[in-house]
A and B are shown apart, each in its own frame.
Chain A
Amino acid sequence: MSTWLLLFRKEMLESTRNYKWIWIPLVFLLLGISNPVTTYFMPQILESSGVAADLVPVPTSVEIMAKSLSQYGTLGLLILALSFMGIVAAERQSGSAIMVLVKPVSHRSYILAKWSGMTVLTLAAVGLGQLGTWYYTNILFESVPFRLVWTSLLVYALWLLFINTITLFLSCLMKSVGGIAFISLGVAAVLAILTQVLDHTMKWSPSRLTGAASQILLSGQGGGDMWLAIALTIAFIAALLAGSVTASRRMWTKS
C-alpha cells in the first residue's frame, strides 16, 4: 500500500512537471463551455449569414448540457488516448520503468499507481469541464439542477475511464505508442457502433453509458439497463487491470 502511494505521488509529480495537470483540464473546460457559448450566439450567427433566426429552435438547457457531454466522447477521448498512450510503453522504452521495477516494487502497485493517476486526472478534467458547462448554461439559459449535473457526469466519466484502462492495458502489451492510441480509439468506435446496431443484444455494453448519461440529463432517469452497464463496465475495468499486471510482468521477464 505504501509503495502504491509513493508511486502515485511520483506519477502526480510527473504529470505536473509536463503540464498535464494544467492543459488537460483547461482543454476540457474549453470543450465544456464551447457548446453553451456557441448556442448563445447562434441567433446572431444565423442572422449575419442571412438565415431567419426563428427557423432554428432554441435548445433547452438540459439539451445543451447533454450535447456538451458528447464532446468529451469525441475530442475528449482523442486527447486522453493521445496523452496516455505512452504511460507504460514510453517508460519502458526510455528505461525509467526498469529503474522503478528493479526495486522491490510489485507490478501490481506500479500498474495501480499509473491507473489511479490517469483516473484522478480524467475525473478532475471532466469535472471542471462539466462545472464550466453548468455555469454558462445557468447564466445564459435556464438553470439545471445540480443533482443531474454530477450524476450524469459520473456515468459518463465511467465510459472514459473504461477506454483509459484499455489504453493502459495496450500500453503494457505493445511497443508502438501510435498503435496504442489508434487501437483504443478503434475499440471505442467499434463498441459505439455495435451498440447502436445490435441495440437489444448489447444491453450490457459500456458504450451504453454515454446514452444513459444524456438520458439522466434529459429525463432525470438513466433507464433500466444503466445499472447493468455500470456493473459490467466496472468488471471490465477490473479484468483489464489484472490483464495489465500480467502483461507488465511478462514484458519484464522477456526484456
Chain B
Amino acid sequence: MQLGDLGLQVILPVAIIELILMVIALVDLSRREKEETRGPKLLWVFIIILGNLLGSVVYFTVGRRSGS
C-alpha cells in the first residue's frame, strides 16, 4: 500500500500518541515494586511493548494493584 505525503501526516500523530502511552506505561512499571503489579514485571514489559495500544491500556486498567 502506497502512502502519500498526506497519508504519512495522518498516520504520524496516531503513532506518536501510541508511543507516548507505551512510554508512560513503562515508566510507571519501572517505578513499581514487585508486589504492586499483578503478575511478574517482566511479563508486563512484554505485554506493553508487543501489545501496542491494547497492551498499555490493559496495564493501566488491570495491571496495577494499588492506586489504580
Give A contacts to B, CB under 8 Å: 14, 17-20, 22-23, 26-27, 29-30, 33-34, 37, 40-41, 44-45, 48, 79, 82-83, 86, 90, 94, 136, 140
10 A–B pairs (Cβ distance < 8 Å), ordered by A: A18-B64, A22-B24, A26-B21, A30-B17, A30-B53, A37-B10, A40-B10, A41-B7, A44-B2, A82-B62
Give B contacts to A, CB under 8 Å: 1-2, 7, 10-11, 13-14, 17-18, 20-21, 24-25, 28, 53, 56-57, 60-62, 64, 66-68
Report the nearest B residue to A22, measured CB to CB.
B24
B14, A79: Cβ atoms closer than 8 Å: no
A86, B68: Cβ atoms closer than 8 Å: yes
Report the nearest B residue to A181, measured CB to CB.
B61
Task: Find chain B residues with CB under 8 A from A37 CB.
Answer: 10-11, 14
Task: Find chain B residues with CB under 8 A from A83 CB.
Answer: 60-61, 68
A33, B1: Cβ atoms closer than 8 Å: no
A33, B24: Cβ atoms closer than 8 Å: no
Interface SS, B side = helix
B17, A23: Cβ atoms closer than 8 Å: no
B13, A79: Cβ atoms closer than 8 Å: no
Q: A44-B1, A82-B61 are in contact. Are A33 and B14 (CB under 8 A)?
A: yes
Q: A23-B56, A23-B60, A82-B61 are in contact. Are A30 and B14 (CB under 8 A)?
A: yes
Task: Find chain A residues with CB under 8 A from B53 CB.
Answer: 27, 30
Q: A44-B1, A79-B57, A83-B61 are in contact. Are A18 and B21 (CB under 8 A)?
A: no
Report the nearest B residue to A135, measured CB to CB.
B13
CA distance A222 to B62 in the complex (A): 37
CA distance A94 to B64 in the complex (A): 14
A45, B56: Cβ atoms closer than 8 Å: no
Task: Find chain A residues with CB under 8 A from B62 CB.
Answer: 82
Closest 3 CB pairs of A and B: A82-B61, A18-B67, A48-B1
B14 to chain A, nearest CB (A): 6
Task: Find chain B residues with CB under 8 A from A14 CB.
Answer: 67
CA distance A37 to B9 in the complex (A): 11
Report the nearest A residue to B4, measured CB to CB.
A44
Q: Which of A23, A29, A41, A90 contacts B24 (CB 8 A)?
A: A23
